[in-house]
Chains A and B, each alone.
Chain A
């Protein structure tokens, strides 16, 4: 540990210096921080550190065990690669927010209690929104606002759940919670928003494609993977999650096929991949949890690689829309090649990383006799091949020539993509060297069996064959500039319409009330004027005689009342 700082603090505090630095000094500083932070993490060993007592609650700032350690590794690697990628053109604002964002993710997975988790949970939202806003467009500003509302909302629900949980159990320890209690249910909902559960998912496909070209790389690495970690920690073996996960693997593949913006395709692809992890957490056996964690690890690398190659497209060609791209391999052959490595990894070709992790979740499903689940996941695997394996490289770099001619991606981007590509192949080819030994449970699964290799090759190559047939016979969906309605329609259109209609009713009501009040006030003033005005009966000057009569009448009334109030019994005579 550097001094007595928890690892998360290294990057968060280090980010404060970033605005003061420029050029190479800034590059050196931002690349040093993840290394220093990782060193701090590795020097700690397993255990709990930084216990603080606040209001009779025991907080544990840092807990390092098998589960949190591998996520710690992952987030440091992702931050390092992303920061290299962001060297060209990235602003100090992006560097600083990326560092705070990475630090918050590391803090969240090391949190030993729910209150610490909540603090980092909100910091994730607040730091990451700048990566969307840094794009500087009207669209990104609006998308960022929507993103922030949803993310902070997730934190508020999480906090409500934590309060309910703490009241019911008297403890804020972050361990298995389950869905039996109200607190457990609310916390799951809060996590579910960040994990992009179905119908709660549109913040992701809305905001990520509007981020800067490097911002999307960071965004794809941290938020949803923190959510997967919290699910694995608190909800392993929750049956509901199996089917939530299946739904997440299924519905995005159809949207990804018809989506025009490649980075939005990757957004849907993320939900699909998180679905495999959520499903693994729901199955909850040691193999399933290992699979979920291993797949989270690999997903950050290959999805990061795909977001980097599309980010390079955005940087060089100025667009990521299929309808405007095509033939870019001519200008950017190296980026195209690295993109293909990412595509092969997510599609789970043998020797690429998806092959050794996704299959672990599927094998665990079969082991638990979840045959239908397994068939759905296999179906979704063919879907992954379509949108991520073929669509991203083909329409991004190869499709019909768009006429765009530009330069190869800058060296810093190529280095970052090269590192991610290397790790994809390394994990896919030698899973027993780093990935498997660092998983939370002992790995008994063997990925390279002839059965697994053959069946996977059959599935994938015949799916590619289907693509070729559909493409040559013009049955593939055409790439059209479009917006596809999804669950966000309910708040972006229906909710907005409802709010505007409610506003209309309120304003009409206000107008009516105002009109009536003005009329009532007007008539009150009129009648006052009629009776009290210069010519009104009360406004007249009255002669003195009239007043004398009134005073006499008053005195008479007073006298009568006095007599009436005097007791009837006679006063006793004096002695």
Chain B
């Protein structure tokens, strides 16, 4: 990562490139995320197999509806999406200009 240097006028000049200036770095980060998601996703599928083999349960559901595989993954994904869409809907009703209260 390059450091910022100041030019003659004292203005901070941005020289060189920074870590995320390279789109490949974003792509790598997303690839890591997808890999992690795949692992935690697989754990729910592996859970009954591990239990049959070792008798140890990775995740014992407290409630029946929480017990079906991938409950948390699906809930997390849907909740997040629902929040974003609801918020966009809310924005239609409540958004005003920045100086709304100053006028």
A residues with a Cβ closer than 8 A to B are 139, 253-255, 257-258, 260, 327, 329-331, 333, 366, 371, 378-379, 382-383, 385-386, 398, 405-407, 450-451, 454-468, 470, 475-477, 480-486, 492-493
Nearest Cβ on chain B to A396's Cβ, whole angstroms: 14
Judged by DSSP, the binding face of A is: helix
A407 to B60 CA separation, bound complex (whole angstroms) = 50
B residues 69-101 touching A (CB-CB < 8 Å)? 70-77, 79-81, 83-84, 86-88, 90-91, 93-101
B residues 21-73 touching A (CB-CB < 8 Å)? 30, 33-34, 36-37, 40-41, 43-44, 57-60, 62-63, 70-73
Query: Is B40's CB under 8 angstroms from A329's CB?
Result: no
A405 to B10 CA separation, bound complex (whole angstroms) = 12
A450-B59 CB under 8 A given contacts A482-B98, A484-B91, A492-B101? yes
| Count of A-B contacts judged by CB separation below 8 Å | 152
Determine if B12 is an interface residue (Cβ-Cβ < 8 Å): yes
A455-B59 CB under 8 A given contacts A253-B83, A492-B101? yes
What is the chain B residue whose CB lies nearest that of A397?
B20
A interface footprint on B2-31 (CB within 8 Å = 1, 0 otherwise): 001000000011100011100000000010
Query: Is A485's CB under 8 angstroms from B4's CB?
Result: no
A407 to B36 CA separation, bound complex (whole angstroms) = 34
Query: Is A258's CB under 8 angstroms from B87's CB?
Result: yes
- Tally of chain B residues near chain A (CB < 8 A): 51
Query: Is B77's CB under 8 angstroms from A462's CB?
Result: yes
Which of B4, B63, B90 is within 8 Å of A330, CB to CB?
B4
Query: Is A454's CB under 8 angstroms from B40's CB?
Result: yes
Given contact pairs A331-B12, A466-B84, a sample of 13 additional A-B residue pairs in the complex whose CB atoms are under 8 Å apart: A329-B20, A366-B63, A379-B75, A385-B80, A450-B58, A451-B59, A458-B40, A459-B73, A463-B77, A482-B95, A482-B96, A483-B95, A484-B94
Query: Is B60's CB under 8 angstroms from A451's CB?
Result: yes
What is the chain B residue whose CB lies nearest that of A143?
B101
Judged by DSSP, the binding face of B is: helix
Task: Give me 22 A-to-B residue pairs in the complex whose CB atoms sit less than 8 angstroms apart, sorted by A's number.
Answer: A258-B90, A329-B19, A331-B12, A366-B63, A371-B63, A383-B79, A383-B83, A451-B59, A451-B60, A455-B72, A457-B36, A461-B76, A463-B77, A463-B80, A465-B37, A466-B77, A476-B84, A482-B95, A482-B96, A482-B98, A484-B94, A485-B100
A467 to B80 CA separation, bound complex (whole angstroms) = 7
Nearest Cβ on chain B to A102's Cβ, whole angstroms: 31
Contacting residues, chain A, for B100 (C-beta < 8 A)? 483, 485
Nearest Cβ on chain B to A107's Cβ, whole angstroms: 35
A458-B90 CB under 8 A given contacts A331-B12, A379-B79? no
Contacting residues, chain B, for A485 (C-beta < 8 A)? 93-96, 100
A172 to B57 CA separation, bound complex (whole angstroms) = 53
What is the chain A residue whose CB lies nearest that of B87?
A257
What is the chain B residue whose CB lies nearest that of A257?
B87
Query: Is A405's CB under 8 angstroms from B41's CB?
Result: no
Which of B19, B37, B93, B97 is within 8 Å of A462, CB to CB?
B37
Contacting residues, chain A, for B40 (C-beta < 8 A)? 454, 457-458, 461-462
Contacting residues, chain B, for A254 (C-beta < 8 A)? 83, 86-87, 90
Nearest Cβ on chain A to B64's Cβ, whole angstroms: 11
Most chain A CB within a 10 A radius of its CB, from B62, B94, B97: B94
Contacting residues, chain A, for B58 (C-beta < 8 A)? 450-451, 454
Query: Is A481's CB under 8 angstroms from B98's CB?
Result: yes
A255-B96 CB under 8 A given contacts A366-B63, A383-B83, A468-B30? no
Query: Is A458's CB under 8 angstroms from B87's CB?
Result: no
A383 to B75 CA separation, bound complex (whole angstroms) = 12
Query: Is B33's CB under 8 angstroms from A461's CB?
Result: yes
Nearest Cβ on chain A to B27's Cβ, whole angstroms: 11
A454-B81 CB under 8 A given contacts A258-B87, A483-B100? no
Nearest 7 CB-CB pairings of A with B: A257-B87, A382-B79, A466-B80, A458-B72, A459-B76, A462-B76, A405-B12
Contacting residues, chain A, for B37 (C-beta < 8 A)? 461-462, 465
